A and B are shown apart, each in its own frame.
Chain A
């Protein structure tokens, strides 16, 4: 039997790579919005958006940090669009072992875009607000979803980090370490 339907807002950032001028203001906006205390530190390496740029080849692709993955892809494909050659990785949102992108530079823990969810909520994600060239624009779309599906909890930042630590050290070692820490050893 189908579950109850429920209305949900899907947040959409539209990325127009033709309009990107490569300035990386989106990275700045993201980095400071997520720094603690808020706005205190700027470090694009901690941004959850990155402009992958190769100016001479006319490649400017703002990419958002997506899922964490423990393993790399098996192959590396290439796309040719309008004569420009893109690595598959140029489009990929994953925080993965093949690159340093979307990882905390100090801890190596994965980063993920959270659409700047905050209280009170922002009108638009910070990166969109700082993009004056309109390469990034924001829209909201209403969709109907299964209530049951919706109830599944989305993994938060800590869960993501823990997942990557489990992948790196194994569950047993991690639990040991937490147990030791909680005893204050």
Chain B
């Protein structure tokens, strides 16, 4: 009997209309856990590195985390993995909501999509009955609208729907997959779904998910719930209110937006407005939010209320997730009521709320600079907010200039030319980043921005405070109940971290400590992404209920496979290394591992080189960021080593020759 997982994947070939239920190897859970880990294994095994993201040979995998469907609190994440049309690298956007547990109840761990359907279809999974159904009547429909229409047509109010809007159908490079109050938004996975002619995957399940040692597992769940309650009553002192609790940043509940609006940048990640947050703004925004918010919403089996049902004046009701509240508002240099309104349209279109506003602000900067002219933007309204709606409509239809902007800032800048490249200042690996521009280089964030394979800072940070606390007393207070640290020395790193002086950034934490701190933070994300745990209860906030000390027991009692901290850390490292290998094979190199040039005003090239050198070593990679033969062998990734040797990415004699990687040469 299989515990926690169902032991079956669904293999769907859309070209041939073929559906298969395939038993999976039970040993994979011990090595890769599930979710992101086993998704990555499938992509490594089955998608050759020269596969175009829009090729029928590209796979689109909807994977549930190992713990999804068990009673584990907050284990509801769907990990969608494929290759990104924007970066060419592996994309693994994730979503909360209700979809992943429902798939487990239907009896499957993953849905693996290959091929392309000649006409628009949707997939209907109802326990053992799986059908590919015509979706031509859903063409052009909004993502939420599609979900409602399908539930109505199937007479299944309890079915969970993951769908794309117009942006996905038109292969916009930052199209999302929407699902109720959640979405998998980053890196254009909605475009891959659209390219495959798949409008939606609809799931209903009424089967059981079992755990191996039920009483023990239940006790862990009770402990987690108890700690969440305690943590709710004990917000963290010394950090902005938005970071003091659990969950995603509590954008829907909290009104105090001083931290985001005065620290993050507006427009095309340009303007810092330090004096923005006044009493008047606070009053006005509070009223806007109170009026718009109908109800706070949770994902499956999670007490955090990170989303909300929104009813903004003049637009239909919709569900919002945390930070989209501010991204459009700030990119358009506008007001919160504009933010609440435009997100309704953007959600129905199905676009990423990080990238989309920046692409539009970028276009308007080009217009101001005369690089784009009225000829490129015929009929664009004169007011800023009107322009945002106008651009959004054109991007998702790929109409006129929208067809270029739909490829994201990096590609659009190069297609437009005439110096537009200079305005692409906030991307890493061709992917738009949070709008944040700061003064002094922070070594921890330098490594996280540079090397994070998700290419998104929120998917690697957490656990360790973003900045030092002002006084020693405050730090001592903070570390008192900080039992989540893997080792007590992490407390010391934080205690000794000063805002100014010898023990301050960029030279403190030391390079060695920085490597450890980054590795710990990243490791917790990799564990979550394999288990399907929401980062909001685990790797993202400070002092979370899930941590390296209780997770081994939780996984062991759920699966019946015994894990201790070392074995779990090794599995996380294996997954992380495999992801690196997948991207290395597609041409990723050290030169790609850098933050946006202007992210910090004060840069330290020599220190940065050392940081990267030491971090690579710490990770078991050579100085070009390629996992070494020894580390691959040690992690049980001998098959990756063999492949690298065959391709000449690694050689028998030493780590790797300097210069370009063979994969890169191949690409040219």
A-side residues, CB < 8 A to B, are 18, 21-25, 28-29, 32, 35, 37-46, 54-58, 60, 105, 129-130, 132-133
Q: Which residues of B contact A45 (CB under 8 A)?
A: 105, 205-207
- Once the chains are docked, how many angstroms separate the CA of A41 from the CA of B98? 18
A143 vs chain B, min Cβ distance (A): 32
Q: Which residues of A contact B214 (CB under 8 A)?
A: 32, 35, 37-41
When A37-B214, A41-B208, A41-B210 are in contact, do A58 and B298 touch as well, CB less than 8 Å?
A: no
B70 adjacent to chain A (CB < 8 Å): yes
Within 8 A of A (CB), among B98-113: 98, 105
B-side residues, CB < 8 A to A, are 69-71, 73, 98, 105, 144, 148, 157, 180-181, 205-211, 214-215, 217-218, 225, 228-229, 232, 294-303, 305, 309, 317-319
- Once the chains are docked, how many angstroms separate the CA of A27 from the CA of B583? 41
Check if A39 sits within 8 Å of B218, measured CB to CB.
yes
> Chain A: which residue is nearest B311 at the CB level?
A58
Q: Which of B71, B144, B225, B297 is A22 in contact with, Cβ under 8 Å?
A: B297
Check if A21 sits within 8 Å of B296, measured CB to CB.
yes
Q: Which residues of B contact A55 (CB under 8 A)?
A: 180-181, 297, 309, 319
Q: Which residues of A contact B211 (CB under 8 A)?
A: 39-42
Check if B309 sits within 8 Å of A23, measured CB to CB.
no
Closest 10 CB pairs of A and B: A23-B298, A45-B206, A132-B303, A39-B214, A105-B206, A41-B208, A40-B214, A21-B298, A43-B208, A39-B218
Q: Which of B181, B218, B229, B301 is A24 in contact with, Cβ under 8 Å?
A: B301
- Once the chains are docked, how many angstroms separate the CA of A115 from the CA of B27? 41
Q: Which of A22, A38, A42, A58 is B208 in contact with, Cβ under 8 Å?
A: A42
13 contacts between A and B (CB under 8 A): A21-B296, A22-B298, A23-B303, A24-B300, A39-B217, A40-B210, A40-B211, A43-B206, A43-B209, A55-B180, A56-B309, A56-B318, A132-B225
Check if B206 sits within 8 Å of A133, measured CB to CB.
no
Check if A35 sits within 8 Å of B208, measured CB to CB.
yes
Q: Which residues of A contact B229 (CB under 8 A)?
A: 132
Check if A32 sits within 8 Å of B295, measured CB to CB.
no
Q: Which of A25, A54, A58 is B295 in contact with, Cβ under 8 Å?
A: A58
Q: Which residues of A contact B303 (CB under 8 A)?
A: 21, 23, 25, 132-133
B188 vs chain A, min Cβ distance (A): 26
Q: Which residues of A contact B318 (CB under 8 A)?
A: 56
> Chain A: which residue is nearest B98 at the CB level?
A24
- Once the chains are docked, how many angstroms separate the CA of A129 from the CA of B73? 13
- Once the chains are docked, how many angstroms separate the CA of A45 from the CA of B104? 13
Q: Which of A23, A32, A130 is B300 in contact with, Cβ under 8 Å?
A: A23
Check if B228 sits within 8 Å of A132, measured CB to CB.
yes
Q: Which residues of B contact A105 (CB under 8 A)?
A: 206-207
B253 vs chain A, min Cβ distance (A): 11
Check if A54 sits within 8 Å of B157, measured CB to CB.
yes
- Once the chains are docked, how many angstroms separate the CA of A32 from the CA of B218? 9
Q: Which residues of A contact B98 (CB under 8 A)?
A: 24
When A39-B211, A40-B214 are in contact, do A133 and B181 touch as well, CB less than 8 Å?
A: no
> Chain B: which residue is nearest A56 at the CB level?
B317
Q: Which residues of A contact B218 (CB under 8 A)?
A: 32, 39
Most buried by A among B210, B214, B225, B229: B214
A122 vs chain B, min Cβ distance (A): 12
